[in-house]
Amino acid sequence: MVTFNRFTLANGLRLLVHEDPATPMAVVNILYDVGARDEDPDKTGFAHLFEHLMFGGSLHIPNFDTPLQRVGGENNAFTSNDITNYYITLPAVNLETAFWLESDRMLSLAFSEKSLEVQRQVVCEEFKQRYLNQPYGDVWLRLRPLAYKTYPYRWATIGKELSHIEHAQMADVRAFFDKFYVPSNAIMVVAGNVQTENVLQLVEKWFLPIPSGQKPLRELPPEPEQKEPSREVVHADVPLNSIYIAFHAPGRTEEGYHVIDLISDLLSQGPSSRLYRCLVKEQEIFSEINAYQMGSIGPNLFVIEGKPSPHCTVEEAEEAIWRELELLKNEVVEAYELNKVKNKVESTMAFSEMVILDKAMNLAYFELLGDADLLNQEVGRYLGVSPADIQELAQRLFRKENSSTLVYIATNDAG
Amino acid sequence: MMPDRNQAPTYQPITGFDLITPRHIVLSNGLNVFIFDSGEQEVVRAEWIFDHAFVHTENPLLPTCACEMLLEGTTSYTSRQIADTVDFYGAFLIPQYDADRSTLSLFSLAKHLDKLLPLVKEVLVDSIFPDRELATYIRNSKQKLQVSLEKNSFVARRLFNAALFGDTRYGKCPEIADYESITRQDLISLFKSQYTVANCTLVLSGHITEAILGRVAKHFGDEWLAGEQALFDNVPAFPNIAEGGGVILEERADALQSAIRLGNRSISRSHPEFPGLQVVNTLLGGYFGSRLMANIREDKGYTYSIGSGLGSLKHGSFFTIASEVGTAVTSATLNEVEKEIGRLKEEAVTDEELTLVKNYMMGSMLGSLENVFSHADKFKNVYFSGLELDYYRYYTDVVRNIDTKEIQRLANAYLDFDSMVKVIVGKM
DSSP symbols for B325-393: EEGGGHHHHHHHHHHHHHHHHHSPPPHHHHHHHHHHHHHHHHHTTSSHHHHHHHHHHHHTTT--TTHHH
Q: Flag whether pLDDT at B231 surpasses 90.
A: no
Of B270, B252, B253, residue with least CA distance to B387 = B270
**Looking at chain A, which residue has its C-alpha nearest residue B255?**
A133
Interface mutation target, options B147, B357, B368, B425, chain A, most CBs of A under 10 Å: B147
Whether pLDDT at A410 is above 60: yes
CB pairs under 8 A between A and B: 223
**CB contacts, 8 Å: A287 with chain B:** 139-140, 143-144
A-proximal residues of B, 367-406, CB under 8 Å: 367, 369-371, 373
Mean pLDDT for A355-369 is 97
Residue B344 banded pLDDT, cuts 50, 70, 90: very high
pLDDT of residue B59: 86
Q: Does B297 touch chain A (CB under 8 A)?
A: yes
pLDDT of residue A222: 96
CA distance B393 to A152: 53
- Chain A's closest residue to B425, CA to CA, is A133
| Complex-level ipTM | 0.91
Name the residue facing B5 among A104, A135, A288 (closest C-beta): A104
Cβ–Cβ < 8 Å for A342, A265: no
Q: Is pLDDT at B1 greater than 80 in this prediction? A: no
Q: Which of residues 139-198 of A touch B (CB under 8 A)?
A: none
Q: Are B150 and A135 in contact (CB under 8 A)?
A: yes
Nearest chain A residue (CA) to B306:
A122
Residues B291 and A194: their CA atoms lie apart, in Å, by: 33
Largest CA distance in chain A: 66
Residue A415, pLDDT > 50, answer: no
Percent of chain A residues past pLDDT 90, beyond the cut: 90
pLDDT in tens, A190-241: 999 999 999 999 999 999 999 998 999 999 999 999 999 999 999 999 999 9
Cross-chain CB nearest to B297 (options A122, A280, A336): A122
Render pLDDT for A61-115 as a digit per residue (tens, 0 to 9): 988 999 999 999 999 999 999 999 999 999 999 999 999 999 999 998 887 888 8
Q: Is the pLDDT of residue B137 over 50?
A: yes
Per the CB < 8 A criterion, the answer to whether B164 and B238 are in contact is: yes
In Å, how far from its chain's centre is CA B338?
Answer: 27
In 3D space, the residue among B204, B60, B231, B42 whose CA is nearest the CA of residue B120 turns out to be B204
CB atoms within 10 A of CB B249: 14
Determine the residue of chain B that is closest to A75 in CA distance. B288
Give the minimum alpha-carbon distance from A220 to chain B in angstroms, rounded to a whole number. Answer: 31
Note the pLDDT tens digit of each residue in B38-60.
Answer: 867 899 999 999 999 887 788 89
Query: In angstroms, what CA-CA distances link B329 with A8, A221, B88, B260, B307?
Result: 49, 42, 52, 11, 17
Contact across the interface for A415 and B143, Cβ inside 8 Å: yes
Which residue among A23, A339, A414 sits closest to B370, beta carbon to beta carbon?
A23
Q: In angstroms, rounded to a whole number, what is the distance separating the alpha carbons of residues B384 and B314?
A: 8
- The closest CB to that of B289, out of A65, A118, A270, belongs to A65
Taking 90 as the threshold, does the pLDDT of residue B2 lie above it?
no
Pick the residue from chain A with its C-alpha nearest to B84. A272
Nearest to B228 by CA among B271, B186, B179, B193: B193
For residues A16-40, average pLDDT: 96
B169: left (phi over 0), alpha (psi -120 to 50) or beta: alpha
Handedness of CA B251, B254, B256, B259 (dihedral sign): negative
Chain B contact for A100, CB < 8 A? yes
| B325 touches A: beta carbon within 8 Å | yes
Buried b (16+ CB within 10 A) or exposed e, B110-127: bebbeebbebbbbbbbeb
Q: Residue range B340-365: average pLDDT?
A: 96
Is residue B254 less than 8 Å (CB to CB) from chain A? Answer: yes
Type of residue numbered A286: F
* Model pLDDT, residue A110: 82
For chain A, say whether B255 makes contact (Cβ under 8 Å).
Answer: yes
- Local structure of A134: helix, strand or coil: coil
A223 CA: distance to closest CA in chain B (Å): 34
Q: How many beta carbons lie within 10 A of that of residue B229, not counting itself?
A: 9
Cβ of B136 within 8 Å of Cβ of A281? The answer is yes
Model pLDDT, residue B242? 72
Which three-class secondary structure state does DSSP give residue B157?
Answer: helix
- C-alpha angle B306-B424-B141 in degrees, rounded to nearest 5: 90
The CB-based long-range contact list for A139-143 (8 Å cut-off, 24+ gap) reads: A139/A244, A139/A305, A139/A406, A139/A408, A142/A232, A142/A234, A142/A406, A143/A244, A143/A246, A143/A303, A143/A404, A143/A406
Report chain A's mean pLDDT, rounded to a whole number: 95
- Report the residue from A23, A91, A350 with minimal CB separation from B14: A91
CA distance A69 to chain B (A): 5
pLDDT level of residue B235 (50, 70, 90 thresholds): confident
The pLDDT of residue B39: 67
Q: Is B359 on the interface with A (CB under 8 A)?
A: yes
